[in-house]
Amino acid sequence: MKGNLKIGFYIAPVFCALLCLMQLFAGNVTAIVFYAHLPLCFMFGAFPAIALYKKVISLEEELKDLKTKLNS
């Protein structure tokens, strides 16, 4: 899981860079492809952040459980 999160942060910038380079060098021919796939940049960027947020929540719950076990 740890390795997958690291790779996930690189997928979005690489995808967006390739998409922008395609638009830059191919011109108006690829405009519809560029605008159709542009939301994927934000989606690919959000997935690792959501996974990290869920991981933090689960770790906080585990810490809370361990504290209650320690106190009882």
Q: Find out whether 19 and 37 touch, Cβ atoms under 8 Å.
A: yes
pLDDT in tens, the chain (72 residues): 555 667 777 888 888 888 888 888 988 888 888 888 888 888 888 888 888 899 999 999 999 999 999 988
What pLDDT shows up at residue 31? 87
Query: Which residues, including other chains, have CB under 8 Å from residue 48's CB and lie 6 or more apart?
Result: 5, 8, 9, 12
Supply the pTM of this predicted model. Answer: 0.61
Residue ranges per structural domain of the chain = 2-71
Spacing of C-alpha 18 from chain mean position: 17
